Structure 1
């Protein structure tokens, strides 16, 4: 079985795939100082609850945009699952497509994983919108090449910024307002966030399509994808597992790294290799 680990700025998602289907998905808040033992205590308890023995894990693949979290996640794979993890990043693994940007190694692993899985399932040309800590738009060419994209502030970041910067504006939850014009402060803020981001989505998709000269399909992922898909017709598919599926496809494409059980010195604690 494959243990896929998607470490984002807000949460780390762990999932197990048995070759046919996902057997479980669990998430924990991202903390750079969390140790491999802390991950293991939490994760193995969930494994037990789902009847999954640790010995069933034969592969591990990690995608992270938080370099400081990589050390503990790598140690988790080595010490608790006896396997060397495959690390998803440009330049060190075979992606199966060209990365057509100026600095390929700077592209976040999640964006490449999304592109890999989206092209596999939906075929390009397409745009992947990921509603995460940042809202990203990634463009995949007809043959699967990663063309580039757009990074905008995430929805929750915008909500928090409004609350912190304006003394009289409260912290709000995100939801779809019944009308665009709000008749009180909270509905007005909710409208600005929700319909403002719908406008952002529609405007950027239109500009990307015009620049590419084709009608690209639009795939959305992330926890808020279904909510925003309700408010616009430009999103054609929502896929909550697209990043995890990218890890699965990447692990299938690349040979498993050779595992050598060793104790890493503390001097490597901040490694990013």
Structure 2
């Protein structure tokens, strides 16, 4: 064997030893949306940030409305992990946990999760989507409950929510960043499934607004795509909705979470895409 070739083979072997490849293992978890929510329940009951990371996408913001001030409150995943880790030695499992599938279509699920302890409870509305890594929770808003309290679902709020949804639809039709800002919380995330060949990604509201601005400046509008508001669920100061739209022959759906902060409803998280395509 020629010396240069022999030296090359030896060098390649040395490099392979110096930089070994990790073993190939499957990282896919939570085979169903229900399993993602159950993993969340187990994480909360055991105060395990590790399990919480298996249930939630790390970009998710947990949001609720303060009962006294009416102000919007937000907790990042990193902040939540620290709280769980700090209390890991003293877990307080819930007395009751139940989950309900409010809507399921393809890789999208809209879920309700109710948890109760002796002195309080929570009614969660959750966006859950199927990613290449398995089902993950990508949006969470909640209403705090007093002992024995059943969360109010006032029909009077449905029209106010529908007005916000109509504003979102008009924002798309006119590609208006101003309307996008008016109808959403500033830190709203849009999780995208099977858009432009990408299985899963997410963008902040400002990035979506920048795309709208480019179209608006170019004089582009989209008033031909028909939208429908298919479902609205109200739970006190939080809500969820489902919309769909047909764009150039392809149907897309939106699952949305909303909060009523400072007396005003706005969209706080969204998952959208093509429901016919799976990972």
On whether the aligned pair clears a TM of 0.5, the verdict is: no
Point out which structure has higher relative CO (alpha carbons under 8 A, 6+ apart).
Answer: 1
Q: Which has the higher helix share?
A: 1
